[in-house]
Amino acid sequence: MYRDCHVRMRHVMPFLLVFFLSLLSIDSSPASAHEELRKGFFTIRDEKTDNVIMETGLVVRKGDRFLDADNHLYEIVETRGHVAHARFVRIADLEAKAREFQSAWSAELEARAARSAQGGPRMLIATYHTHSDESYIPTDGAEAIEPRGGIYKVGATLTTALERYGVNVHHSYAVHLPHDGAAYERSRRTAVQLLKNGPDAIFDIHRDAAPLEQYATTLDGKPGARVMIVVGRENPNMSANEQFAWAIKNVADREFPGLIRGIFYGAGGYNQDLSPRALLFEVGSQENSRYAAERSIATLTGALPRLLYGITGPPPAGRTPGAQREQTGRASREARGGWTGIFWIIASLVIIGAAYLFVNEGSWKGVKARLTSLVSREFLDLFGKNVRRRIKIGPRGKKDQY
């Protein structure tokens, strides 16, 4: 009997080993909270009216929140399949949050200036893309393109727009494939590297997966794509991140009404524990054109210099302070370089000529005599006619020059 049990265990052990290894391979990290739907989208409805509040490709869980375009705050109380029901909480006071942010940020800038010999803000922002393949079907031809999708061009547009205000941008082109919940663990390394440069804010740029009407808008008569800000509600910086998000929306609502679709509070951290000013932007959906997304992110960017640095308006189109300084500096260097080159050419000719004369005359005394002869006789012969016209004999036989 013992032998039979032993034989059976020998057959069962491989299956038990595989079972336990599969348990160990299950990802129990917080990254699983960052799941997105592969197909379709979640619909959030008001629990009382059943009206659609919003639709998103992000996985929606009980406890998540959403602040809509009109600043109505909702909390998810139930999910069934891909439908979530939300309870209205209150109308948010964005002005109060914006004032809190501005007060804290001003104090930080003052503390930095006191520690730095240069003083003043560095004006540096960092951007990256956790989901590297995200693209826009109408213009990119697919919703996902590896290794780098259209979302990188949206990030590049943000960089260009900020640079017009004189803001420096570190835009990472690092790839974090595959597109899964663990992508945030991979992009965390990128965010950590970017933060070593001490940016004032860091943004993870995405696009959502939702019906076109959820994000479609118009900017100056042209198609645009609305923007949704995402705040991770499972990180120690959530309160600071929320304050920053509300301050951005407050400025944007005044200058570009309706551009920000809302703020979604999702389960997980989205690497926002790394900075008190770390946010995720969903710029349009896969149904928007990339041009619409680029137009929107360039527009929204105008709120950031105003909020962070008090810059009220961009410089003339096509002229950035950074580029202007670089152009001026380059012109100055080129001018200095030109005169320096001429000086060295003349100096070289003088040195070569002096060496030649020294070799021929045998001494510096001979060189001096030769030079005197060149000036008094050979130059006079060369320019004799013109010089003689300018010389006349005075009444006492002295040569007068006029």
pLDDT digits (tens, 9 = 90+) for 33-69: 667 777 889 999 999 999 999 999 999 999 999 999 9
pLDDT for the residue numbered 345: 43
What is the pLDDT, as a whole number, of residue 20? 38
Query: 206 has which bridge partners?
Result: 282
Q: By C-alpha distance, which of 269, 127, 304 is closest to 202?
A: 127
Q: How high is the pLDDT of residue 92?
A: 97
Q: Beta strand pairing status for 391-393 and 399-401?
A: antiparallel
- Are 280 and 129 in contact, with CB atoms under 8 Å apart? no
Mean pLDDT of the chain: 80
- Say what the pLDDT of residue 376 is: 53
What does the pLDDT read at residue 115?
80
What number is the average pLDDT over the span 207-211? 97
| Cis amide linkage into residue 305, ω under 30° from 0 | no
Mean per-residue pLDDT, 126-130: 98
- Which residues fall within 8 angstroms of residue 72, CB to CB, at 6 or more apart? 88, 91, 92
List, for residues 284-312, the tens digit of each pLDDT value: 999 999 999 999 999 999 999 999 999 98
Instruction: Quote the pLDDT of residue 323.
Output: 36
pLDDT in tens, 144-160: 999 999 999 999 999 99
Q: Residue 80: which H helix or E strand, with range? A: strand 72-80
Give the type of residue at 277.
Answer: R
Q: Which residues pair with 283 in a beta bridge?
A: 227
What is the enclosing helix (H) or strand (E) of 45? strand 42-46
Report the percentage of the chain scoring pLDDT > 90. Answer: 64
Domain boundaries, the chain: 96-316, 363-402
Higher pLDDT, 197 or 116: 197
pLDDT digits (tens, 9 = 90+) for 168-202: 999 999 999 999 989 999 999 999 999 999 999 99
Phi, psi angle pair for 89, to nearest 5°? -100, -60
pLDDT in the model for residue 385:
46
Helix (H, G, I), strand (E, B) or coil at 180: coil
pLDDT in tens, 89-101: 999 999 999 999 9
Q: What is the pLDDT of residue 4?
A: 54
So what's the pLDDT on residue 352? 61
pLDDT of residue 217: 97
User: Is the pLDDT reported for residue 239 higher than 50?
Assistant: yes
Mean pLDDT of 371-380: 52
Average pLDDT over residues 218-238: 96
Question: Is the pLDDT at 113 greater than 90, yes or no?
Answer: no
CA distance 119 to 352: 51
Q: pLDDT above 70 covers what percent of the chain? A: 68
The residue that leads in pLDDT, 326 or 346, is 346
Q: Supply the pLDDT for residue 399.
A: 39
**Least reliable range by pLDDT among 13-22, 255-264, 361-370:** 13-22
pLDDT of amino acid 27: 35
Residue 401 has pLDDT above 50, yes or no: no
pLDDT top residue among 108 and 19: 108
pLDDT range class, residue 348, cuts 50, 70, 90: low
Highest-scoring range by mean pLDDT, 24-38, 296-310, 342-356: 296-310
245 - beta bridge partners?
none
Which fold is adopted by the domain 96-316? Aminopeptidase (3.40.630)
